[in-house]
A and B are shown apart, each in its own frame.
Chain A
Amino acid sequence: MRRALTGVVLAAGFGGALGLCISLALAQSPPSEHKSGFEFISPESQATQQDDFSNPGMLWVAEGEALWSAQAGASGRSCAGCHGDAAVSMKGVAARYPVYFAESGQPIDLQSRINVCRKVNQKAAPFPLESRELLALSAFIGKQSRGMPITTGEDKRLEPFRARGQELYEQRQGQLNFSCANCHDDNWGKRLASSVIPQSHPTGYPLYRLEWQSMGSLQRRLRNCMVGVRAEPYPYGSQEYVELELFLMTRAKGMPLETPAVRP
């Protein structure tokens, strides 16, 4: 349905095609000055994020820390059993995800990589995507890179997937017929209803969204945007999300990781 709608859009005559070209042109020159979503939120939400005893995301980090040392699966191994102290072994790891995963010949995001480890090394059942446990472990691992610059995309084998992610980012979709770029490249800093449109740098995932009253992944946030433009979201775990994440993280290169961030 989504692809069919895109087809209609592309064939929608000169006006529509011109609009698409303009948005592509702008999207090719992304914001020169990179601003984290942190800069667009209220001082109160900023203060919440910056105080570890006030930031609700830290509840998930603490839970992830417990899971890190918990034995799991037929192997009886814990994450710590192989990786040791996460403050050492996981430092900088989340800042370079998604990475190229040679076994599948495709990029893989952190949550799925944790599940590969569970399945292959711990001989345990993978955590369901968006489960509390998987968000907790991702948040704990993410926090080990807090403040470190994002380095995603250095592996040249990722390039075709990054390019595909960019294509998805720039592709108009949904009944409102907007691309991600229409809002986040062309109109960042302006308001959508009462919210300021950020530049969509995924610097703080998984993050605590006040709207969710909970922690959530970038995939969940991307789904919210797709619902927002009235497109049909991809199912959780779709390769499209990984490619979008790869594009967005590469685009945010050099920005400091904020996990666990707080957003409205």
Chain B
Amino acid sequence: MARALINVPAKAKRGEIIEIKALISHPMETGYRTGPDGALVPRDIINRFICTYNGVEIFSADLFPAIAANPFFSFTTTATESGRIAFRWIDDRGQAHLETAEIAVE
């Protein structure tokens, strides 16, 4: 099942600033909403998102219930070397997810 759509350019020139986009499948349940039975639906959001480039953190975020469902992030990094860009996120249930993308730098 698709948990996320990640957009990293497959190729880049060394030193080029590239844009990275991540779209993650998640309800981002705020904890303030009531279900059909009138009871509060327990909070379940992605509370942490981390992006690493060949193991080194290049971007991360602490998230709150005000982030929209199916969260979207875009940010930039400098293409330094070929390798792997990894995306990790953790939700309130403690579930961690990992997606990766390869980049070739010339």
A199 to B25 alpha-carbon distance, docked (Å): 31
Q: Identify the closest chain A residue to B8 (Cβ).
A: A53
- Closest chain B CB from A52 CB (angstroms): 8
Contact between chains at B72 and A213 (CB < 8 Å): no
B70 touches A213 (CB 8 A): yes
Which of A54, A65, A66 is B21 in contact with, Cβ under 8 Å? Answer: A54
B1 CB → nearest A CB, Å: 5
Contacts A53-B21, A54-B21, A213-B27 given: A59-B72 contact, CB under 8 Å?
A: no
A252 interfacial contact with B, CB 8 Å:
no
- Chain A nearest CB from B99 CB (Å) reads 12
Query: Which residues of chain A in 49-63 are interfacial with respect to chain B, using CB atoms and an 8 Å cutoff?
Result: 52-56, 58-59, 62-63
Q: Are B69 and A213 in contact (CB under 8 A)?
A: yes
Q: Is the CB of B7 within 8 A of A53?
A: yes
Within 8 A of A (CB), among B64-106: 68-70, 72, 74
Residue B61 at the A interface, CB < 8 A? no
A58 & B23 in contact (Cβ 8 Å cutoff): yes
- A53 touches which of B1, B2, B5, B70 (Cβ 8 Å): B5
Given A53-B23, A213-B27, decide whether A63 and B69 contact each other with a Cβ distance below 8 A: no
B69 and A214 form a contact (CB under 8 A) = yes
How many residues on B have C-beta within 8 angstroms of the other chain's C-beta atoms? 14
Cα-based distance from A66 to B1 in the complex (angstroms): 6
Measured CA separation A15–B2 after assembly (Å): 55
Contact of A59 among B7, B23, B68 (CB under 8 A): B23
A59 near B25: Cβ-Cβ < 8 Å: yes
The count of residues in chain A whose C-beta lies closer than 8 Å to any C-beta of chain B is 13
Docked-complex contact A59 and B2, CB < 8 angstroms: yes
Q: Is the CB of B27 within 8 A of A58?
A: no
CA of A65 to CA of B68 in the docked complex: distance in angstroms? 24
B2: chain A residues at CB < 8 Å are 59, 62-63, 65-66
- The closest CB in chain B to the CB of A57 belongs to B70
Q: Complex: how many Å from CA A70 to CA B95?
A: 25
Q: Closest residue to A53 on the B side, CB-wise?
A: B7
Nearest-Cβ distance from residue A145 to partner chain B, whole angstroms: 20
B72 / chain A contacts, CB cutoff of 8 Å = 54, 56
User: What CA separation (Å) do A207 and B67 show in the bound complex?
Assistant: 21
Chain B residues whose CB sits within 8 angstroms of the CB of A56 once the complex forms: 23, 69-70, 72
Instruction: Tell me how far the C-beta of B4 lies from the nearest C-beta in chain A, rounded to whole angstroms.
Output: 8
A52 to B25, CA, bound (A): 14
Q: Can you pick out 18 interface pairs between chain A and chain B where the beta carbons lie within 8 Å of each other?
A: A52-B5, A53-B5, A53-B21, A53-B23, A55-B23, A56-B69, A56-B72, A58-B5, A58-B23, A59-B25, A62-B2, A63-B25, A66-B1, A213-B27, A213-B68, A213-B70, A214-B69, A214-B70
Residue numbers of A with Cβ under 8 A of B are: 52-56, 58-59, 62-63, 65-66, 213-214
Give me 15 other A-B pairs in contact (C-beta within 8 A), A56-B72, A214-B69 excluded.
Answer: A53-B7, A53-B23, A54-B23, A56-B23, A56-B69, A58-B23, A59-B5, A59-B70, A62-B2, A63-B1, A63-B25, A66-B1, A66-B2, A213-B68, A214-B70
10 nearest A-B pairs in the assembled complex, by CB-CB distance: A62-B2, A213-B69, A53-B7, A56-B70, A53-B21, A63-B2, A59-B25, A63-B1, A59-B2, A58-B5
